Each structure stands twice: as C-alpha cells, then as structure tokens.
C-alpha cells in the first residue's frame, strides 16, 4: 500500500525502509498468526534477521555491523511493527539496549569478543528488572560478590525480553549495598555460564511471540573480564541506555499504529453498508482523519528524538515524550480500528485484534507512562527554573 511520506527521508533512508518493508512482508508476514498462537518466534527468522543486518544496525563495520544510525534502527523497528510488534521488540532490544550498551561501554577486548557475534548470530537481553524492582529500578536486590578472579552473582530477574532466544545478557547487580545505587554494576553474562538459568516464560496478553522470561542466578560465576564499564557505574549505564531505548519503543508503537490503520483503511474502503463504503460516511471520515493526524504527530516526535540522538544533542525529554505519546496513539488507534472493522475486527481471523493486544505493553515497559511524565516534568522544571 502506497502512503504519502510527510516526514522527509534521504534517498538512502528511503531505500533502507523499503527494503525492510519488503523483507517483513515476505518473510515475517506469513508467520505472524502462527507465532502469536504458539507464543514463540519462528526459529528460522532469527538467522534471517541477522542476514538482513537488522541485528547489528549501530554496530561499527569493523565489528561486523552495519555502522549505521539510531535513525535507521528505529526505521527498522517501525517497519517490522507494522506487521508484527513481537519481532519488532526483539530487534529493538537487540539494537537500542544491548548493542548500544556494548558499543558505548565495553572495552576493546569485549567489543572484539562479543560485537561480531551480536551482529551475525547471537540475540541479546537487557536484565535490569526484578520481582520487587520495576519502575524503582535501583531497588534491585541481585548481588555480586568478588571471589578470586571472578564475580559470583545471586538473585533473579523478571520480565526479560528475548530471554528465550538470547545467548548474551547484560545483567545489573549490586556489588556493595552500603553504597546504594552507586554499588550497581553491569556484567556481561553468557547463557552457558555456570549457575545461570533461564526460568519461566510468561504467558502474556500481547506480543506473545516475544519471549519474556525469568532469569535465575545461583552462584553464577562471571569472569572479572566481563564487567561492563566500571564497578559501581551500572546505574549510569542503565539510565543512559534506557534513554535511547525509549525511542525504540516509540518506533515500535508508531509502526503498530500504522499497521492497524493500514488494515482498517483497506477494509472500510471496500466494505459497503447502506449502498456506500463505510469510509464514505462523514462520521467515519472524521474518525480516521484524526487517527492519521495522531500517527503523523507520533512519527514526527519519534523521528525528531532519533535525529537529536544521532546529532549528539540533548534528547532525553524528547525521547520520553515520543515514547509516551506513541504508546497512547498506538492503543487509541488499535482500539478504533477494531471498531471501524466491526465484528471482523474482533475476531482472531483478522490482524486488528492482535494489534490491540500488542499495544498495551507500550505504556508499561522501558518506563511506564507515569515515569515518562515524571521525566518530562523534571526536565521542564530545570528549563524554566
């Protein structure tokens, strides 16, 4: 379906976006329903995502990545979410959280060891949340103790995206509780490390093909060489990485809204009632015109945040706004698209109800809507204070 591009893209960016959309339509589209029902990613897709270069977009070319920008990363996330938000978040977490943290904070030896694998074969997870530590991330209780040349981690993590598929986990643990959040340290944990287990997989409302798991650490042995950044600087790594991650979630929600809208528009332009198409009724026209406006506004906010990040300019407020607004637009759009499609929209035979289920998580993960509002308010107070 051809759509007007109101947001200016370069020729290279347009070609990249179109290539991703073609890949998504041909390789992901036919599998979406089965993956949702099975609550599992089709294993054949992961090598395909690597072959397309979608799992290492911002990884420098010297380490086997594309050496591209966050703007291209969020274009990929958006395009995939137009068809399946579950695969979109797999690519999102890989790029904006895991790879981002490694590129920025890993030492040269770590980059040489891990980045080529992330670009070509491995999936990664970002392990911050715990059973009693969600929005209050720094209340985490997972501990790491130094023993000889290793660190030994004990504790558990919850709600970890990609947990079922990942080979590498960026894990946050406290090395000195007397220092509070300043004791938090980031570690690179491989799936096969002694004492590490991927636990229960959650049975979720939406993005069901995206695995969300528990991680269990029982005297997990992590080499000293796998400390990411400095001891006690994990809080800084987590905050700064999540700031970029929120742009990715904004892109996921943007793509979701666009995908639901595209399907609903095709339907109401064909479906007739009372001798005319549903789309020709003025009341319906007002509804889909407003949805289109909201989607374009979300796109401008998400793209702006990504452009600021690529330019090395302050972007935290804009990222929070983009994530907050895009998640609201996604839920509102998906809900209205079900109504536009009527009974068909409410059935699992058609994709709109899945977009609606998938949309709900946008207001929750990588910072709830209230946390985004708090971030925005704090930054505004600094500007006007």
Name the residues annotated as catalytic: 366
Of the candidates 364, 356, 297, the one whose C-alpha atom is nearest the C-alpha of residue 332 is 356
Crossing angle of helices 234-270/316-341, nearest 10°? 30
Q: Quote the distance between the C-alpha of residue 66 and its chain's center.
A: 19
Q: Burial, 8: exposed, middle or buried (Cβ in 10 Å; 0-12, 13-18, 19+)?
A: exposed
* CA-CA-CA-CA torsion sign (9, 13, 15, 20): negative
Residues 6+ away with beta carbon under 8 Å from 54: 20, 76, 80, 91, 95
Helices (H), 271-315: 282-310
CA distance 353 to 344: 9
């Amino acid at each position: 379906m051809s759509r007007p591009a109101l947001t200016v893209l370069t020729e290279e960016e347009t070609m990249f976006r179109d290539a991703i959309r073609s890949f998504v339509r041909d390789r992901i589209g036919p599998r979406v329903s089965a993956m949702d029902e099975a609550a599992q990613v089709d294993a054949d897709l992961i090598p395909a995502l690597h072959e397309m270069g979608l799992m290492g977009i911002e990884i420098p070319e010297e380490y086997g990545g594309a050496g591209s920008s966050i703007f291209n990363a969020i274009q990929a996330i958006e395009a995939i979410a137009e068809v399946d938000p579950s695969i979109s978040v797999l690519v999102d977490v890989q790029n904006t959280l895991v790879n981002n943290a490694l590129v920025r904070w890993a030492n040269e030896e770590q980059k040489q060891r891990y980045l080529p694998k992330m670009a070509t074969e491995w999936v990664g997870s970002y392990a911050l949340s715990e059973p009693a530590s969600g929005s209050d991330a720094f209340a985490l209780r997972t501990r790491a103790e130094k023993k000889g040349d290793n660190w030994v981690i004990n504790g558990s993590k919850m709600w970890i995206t990609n947990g079922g598929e990942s080979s590498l986990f960026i894990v946050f643990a406290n090395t000195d509780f007397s220092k509070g959040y300043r004791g938090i340290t980031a570690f690179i944990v491989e799936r096969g490390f002694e004492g590490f287990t991927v636990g229960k997989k959650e049975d979720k409302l939406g993005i069901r093909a995206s695995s969300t798991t528990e991680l269990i650490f029982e005297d997990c042995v992590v080499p000293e060489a796998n400390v990411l950044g400095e001891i006690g600087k994990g809080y800084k790594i987590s905050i700064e990485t999540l700031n970029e991650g929120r742009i990715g979630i904004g892109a996921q929600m943007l793509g979701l809204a666009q995908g639901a809208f595209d399907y609903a528009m095709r339907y109401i332009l064909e479906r007739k009632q009372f001798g005319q198409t549903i789309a020709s009724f003025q009341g319906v026209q007002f509804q889909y015109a407003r949805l289109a406006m909201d989607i374009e506004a979300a796109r401008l906010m998400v793209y702006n945040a990504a452009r600021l990040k690529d330019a090395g300019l302050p972007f935290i407020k804009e990222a929070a706004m983009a994530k907050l607004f895009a998640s609201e637009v996604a839920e509102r759009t998906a809900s209205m698209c079900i109504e536009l499609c009527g009974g068909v929209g409410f059935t699992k035979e058609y994709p709109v109800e899945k977009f609606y289920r998938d949309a709900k998580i946008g207001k929750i993960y990588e910072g709830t809507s209230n946390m985004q509002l708090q971030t925005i308010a704090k930054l505004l107070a600094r500007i006007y204070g």
